[in-house]
Amino acid sequence: MQSSSFISRSSQYLLAFGFIALVTAILFTLREALDTTLVALLYLIPLGLIATYWGLGPGITSALTTFLTFNYFFIKPYYTFSVHRPTDVVILVIFLIVAIVISQLVGRMQVSLAAATAREREATRLYELSTALAGLHDDHAIAQILAKQVQEVSQGEAVELSVTGLQPFSFFLPEAHQPNRQPEWVVPIEVARGVLGEIRLWRAAPALTSSEKRLLQTFASQGALALERARLAQAESRAKVLEESDKLKSAILSSVSHELRTPLSTIKAAASSLRSDDVHWDSAARPELIAAIDDEADHLNMLVGNLLDMSRIESGVLKPKREWNILPEIVGSVLARMKHLAEEHRIEVDVPESLPLVPVDYVQMEQVFTNLVSNSVKYAPEKTVIRVRAFVESDSIHVIVSNQGPQVPQEHLERIFDKFFRITAADRVTGTGLGLSICKGIIEAHGGRLWAENVPDGLAFNFTFPLIWEGVSPPTMPMDTETE
């Protein structure tokens, strides 16, 4: 069956004629030895074969041809179409009827067999397509599979598939093969709510049969269903994300208002008692209350600053203003400023002068060191050592801020960089709960990485960032050494 479809209609007829001629020639040589009735029976064999292999048309035509050659070559008088013996007339008529009936029967059987096979193939294809599409939630993946199947089934020159929607796209199969003529066949990918896309097919010859068109149409509607399902799933997951972020926002809000209220309460209490007559001008409580207002105002300012930084990091507008800076200078100025906070700890610094210049935002990098050191000061017990080390590691700088404080359970090592995440109860430690996540945001904006790890005697914050900035290595400075 498969081979016959490749032979065009006319060559089937030619072959049928050739076969008849061959059989006629063989029978002709044996004419004297064979009875007319036997010849008629032998002629039925090629007719059956022709109808079986080449179908109804060649079968019927061969039947008629054989009727004529039988009459011409094998029925006396030879080489005429006239018939003398009445029995021969009967034989001829019966032969014709039998030949036509056989051809028709066999031919019809072939046609319905072909149709059944085609239907089975269609069903297999459809099954393959729907299995491949099942469970896909991505427009691109669905479109790819659909186009591939259309291409395989149609054996077309090219297939273009376009999908509309929020992010419309279209592509060709085979890739970048774009015929410069109108497509032979276009079918919309359509659902009840509207058109989701279009399949365009280029296949000049052979023209698409109606069953092929029907199959491709079914493909399109399968694709449409898959696309619609994907979109519904996407909409659902978007709704879920929104709900989650809503929950997160209210958690943040409640945490923030708690953090803001603490210094505000102090300020309010101190200011109102200074205003009232309860505190005398020369009372020892006076300077203390005033100091509390001042300190808490600073704390409030820091809180607001941190919140602002955080929102900037989250919206992706925190752009470091990078310049070549001296890392020991940054570390030095931070530690000098924090000296009064870290009085109870010993700070060991190993940030050598020989380090190359680093491409960082001065203010942001100061903030990273401030937050990491103040975190260590907060959690590590008094009299312990806080170490700050920096060294070059291939094309990066690696900084370690370690303390001898409590270790963090393995499962929380990542989470301590989350907003408002605290291992200990919030009221035991003052701060915003934002310090570490701001550090992470800043380091990542510098193209680096920040992580925490437990070390034998405590906790270590590590970060690295590249020394190469816009393809340039750290510059070395030509210094003038001549004194005036």
User: Residues in the site for other proteins, rule: CB under 8 A?
Assistant: 294, 297, 301, 305, 308-309, 312, 321, 323-326, 329, 332-333, 335-336, 339, 357, 361-363, 366, 475, 477, 479-484
Q: What is the Cα–Cα distance from 98 to 103, expressed in whole angstroms?
A: 8
Q: What is the Cα–Cα distance from 28 to 33, expressed in whole angstroms?
A: 10
The residue (of 257 and 301) whose beta carbon lies closer to other proteins is 301
Rounded to a whole number of angstroms, the minimum distance from the CB of residue 317 to other proteins is 11
Question: Cβ(172)–Cβ(158) under 8 Å?
Answer: yes
Rounded to a whole number of angstroms, the minimum distance from the CB of residue 241 to other proteins is 29
CA-CA distances (angstroms) from residue 20 to 61, 67, 108? 11, 11, 21
Sign of the CA dihedral running 360, 362, 363, 366 = positive
State how beta strands 194-202 and 185-191 pair. Answer: antiparallel
Rounded to a whole number of angstroms, the minimum distance from the CB of residue 304 to other proteins is 9
Q: What is the Cα–Cα distance from 453 to 228, expressed in whole angstroms?
A: 46
Question: Cβ(420)–Cβ(252) under 8 Å?
Answer: yes
Rounded to a whole number of angstroms, the minimum distance from the CB of residue 283 to other proteins is 22
Rounded to a whole number of angstroms, the minimum distance from the CB of residue 305 to other proteins is 6
Question: Cβ(433)–Cβ(420) under 8 Å?
Answer: yes
Backbone conformation region of residue 383, classed left if phi is above 0, alpha if psi is from -120 to 50, else beta: left
Rounded to a whole number of angstroms, the minimum distance from the CB of residue 280 to other proteins is 23
SS3 455: strand
The residue (of 340 and 428) whose beta carbon lies closer to other proteins is 340
Q: What is the Cα–Cα distance from 161 to 224, expressed in whole angstroms?
A: 12
Rounded to a whole number of angstroms, the minimum distance from the CB of residue 342 to other proteins is 14
Six token digits for residue 461:
């914050």
The residue (of 82 and 476) whose beta carbon lies closer to other proteins is 476
State how beta strands 449-455 and 185-191 pair. Answer: unpaired
State phi, psi for 149 to the nearest 5 degrees.
Answer: -65, -40
Rounded to a whole number of angstroms, the minimum distance from the CB of residue 166 to other proteins is 35
Paired residues of 253 in beta bridges: none
The residue (of 312 and 422) whose beta carbon lies closer to other proteins is 312
The residue (of 55 and 435) whose beta carbon lies closer to other proteins is 435
The residue (of 166 and 477) whose beta carbon lies closer to other proteins is 477
Rounded to a whole number of angstroms, the minimum distance from the CB of residue 324 to other proteins is 4
Rounded to a whole number of angstroms, the minimum distance from the CB of residue 269 to other proteins is 19
CA-CA distances (angstroms) from residue 358 to 402, 450, 475? 21, 17, 9
The residue (of 187 and 467) whose beta carbon lies closer to other proteins is 467
Rounded to a whole number of angstroms, the minimum distance from the CB of residue 387 to other proteins is 17
Q: What is the Cα–Cα distance from 242 to 310, expressed in whole angstroms?
A: 20
Cβ atoms < 10 Å from Cβ of 119 = 12
The residue (of 183 and 359) whose beta carbon lies closer to other proteins is 359
The residue (of 104 and 325) whose beta carbon lies closer to other proteins is 325
Backbone conformation region of residue 42, classed left if phi is above 0, alpha if psi is from -120 to 50, else beta: alpha
Task: Give CA 260 to chain center in angstroms.
Answer: 43
Question: Cβ(345)–Cβ(382) under 8 Å?
Answer: yes
Q: What is the Cα–Cα distance from 400 to 391, expressed in whole angstroms?
A: 9
The residue (of 359 and 458) whose beta carbon lies closer to other proteins is 359
Six token digits for residue 11:
């060559």
Q: CA nearest 306: which of 377, 368, 261, 376?
A: 368
The residue (of 134 and 336) whose beta carbon lies closer to other proteins is 336
